Copies of this chain bind each other. A is one copy, B any other.
């Protein structure tokens, strides 16, 4: 272990002894508070990522889990540097931006070029190279709110694939309107991708007010130029970890009920909604169920590097490939801290009768029965693809994209009452499945 890492760990272990938290309905909140205040932002692969792993191990132990361990995996580390964007004459002003995760930086002197605006990724793909060549592409795709955050999926393509499509047509850089629903002047980060054989151009998001501002400038003067500077770092491969803890089943300990969240977060907020809330909910759920001696084993998995592309989940699936048939169920909490409003399943047809019994217990919390098309959550979707039955306690995501992936994802955005409702729902679902012998695959 490198010296600086040991120093940090020593300092951390010395100064923040995990407080003993009472096993009550506020436990989920106390956990997310502890994680976001004491560790704060925890970008996968960073020094803070290591602190979050130690934090998780300490708290699992103090909550009385029977087993606690970490599982390492390799990942490509990316680190944000400074970023600035200025509009040239005649407007001479700065816009608020953030680098997209994984983006290369600009040359030292930056990139200065005229901008060309498209309303969607599809419009960009359909453009002539002559419109795009040597320009900075701006995709100005707006997001509309809904409870499922469904629009996100339609808009996020510009973030993920925009740089590749723009580079194919000869663009020098990509800017996107933030994939967020808030009119606050925060730019919204998230992972982007490159493609083998296509030039890697810098990619960044500007805030919604800045997207409005830039489009108004372009309507006044289509010849306006932008100067973009970014110095992100790509230091290469590092080790990160999934942290795992179990309450051993009292009757069928080899049958695993997996409940999960992801431990990593983007670096600009403190990762309270994404996904500190989920971490608090699933840790608290298992800790509170321990005293009931569940029949099956409850395994809590805190995945590493979800944000970089489900890297921890893929490592988990690979490592546990031979034991996945013993995973009787999996679910993840990763959509903020809004109230649960629907119980979706992804299991065998025969098991749906049992699922409806669970929903009847959830109904007093205002939770309806949903379709049998649940993914189980981003990380858990990897397990579902390998046949593990799943469910999703769907959270109200109306405001989720106001905050997530921005500096504004902080503890004060969590409503403790809504978080208690989440914990109650997770207790009901997890208890029912852990004490049942129903085969959810059938």
Query: Which residues from chain A sit less than 8 Å from chain B, CB to CB?
Result: 8, 11-12, 14-16, 33, 36-41, 47-48, 51, 89-94, 96, 183-186, 208-209, 212-213, 216-217, 220-221, 269-270, 406-408, 410-413
List the B side residues contacting A40 at CB < 8 Å.
91-93, 213
Q: Do A90 and B221 have beta carbons less than 8 Å apart?
A: no
Among B11, B41, B216, point to the contact of A93 (Cβ < 8 A). Answer: B41
CB nearest to A12 among chain B residues: B90
Determine if B33 and A216 form an interchain contact, defined as CB atoms under 8 angstroms apart: yes
A183 touching B213, Cβ below 8 Å: no
Closest chain B residue, CB of each to CB of A36 = B213
Would you list 30 pairs from A and B whose C-beta atoms are within 8 A, ordered by A residue?
A8-B89, A8-B92, A11-B89, A11-B90, A12-B89, A15-B221, A16-B90, A16-B91, A16-B221, A37-B216, A37-B217, A38-B90, A38-B217, A39-B93, A40-B91, A40-B93, A40-B213, A41-B93, A47-B92, A48-B93, A184-B186, A184-B408, A185-B406, A185-B407, A209-B408, A209-B410, A209-B411, A212-B412, A213-B410, A213-B411
When distances are taken between beta carbons in the complex, the residues of chain B under 8 Å from A16 are: 90-91, 220-221
Decide if A220 touches B96 in the complex (CB within 8 Å): no
CB distance from A216 to the nearest CB of B (A): 5
Inter-chain CA distance A123–B73, complex, in Å, is 51
Q: Which of B89, B183, B208, B411 contacts A15 (CB 8 A)?
A: B89
CB-based contact A38/B91 at 8 Å? yes
CB distance from A273 to the nearest CB of B (A): 12
Question: A212 vs B33: C-alpha distance in the bound complex, in angstroms?
Answer: 11
Tell me if A412 and B90 are in contact (CB < 8 A).
Answer: no
Complex alpha-carbon distance, A216 and B411, angstroms? 11
Q: With contacts A40-B93, A93-B270, A212-B410 known, what are 20 further pairs, Cβ within 8 A?
A: A8-B92, A11-B89, A12-B90, A15-B90, A38-B90, A38-B91, A38-B217, A39-B91, A40-B92, A40-B213, A41-B94, A47-B92, A48-B92, A51-B92, A184-B184, A185-B269, A185-B408, A209-B411, A212-B412, A213-B270
Contact residues in B for A93 (Cβ distance below 8 Å): 39-41, 48, 270
The chain B residue with its CB closest to the CB of A213 is B37
When chains A and B are docked, how far (Å) is the Cα of A183 from the Cα of B392? 30
In angstroms, Cα B36 to Cα A8, docked, is: 46
Return the chain B residue nearest A267 by Cβ: B94
Question: Hey, which chain B residues are within 8 Å of A184, CB to CB?
Answer: 184, 186, 408
Q: Are A185 and B11 in contact (CB under 8 A)?
A: no
CA distance A217 to B39 in the complex (A): 10
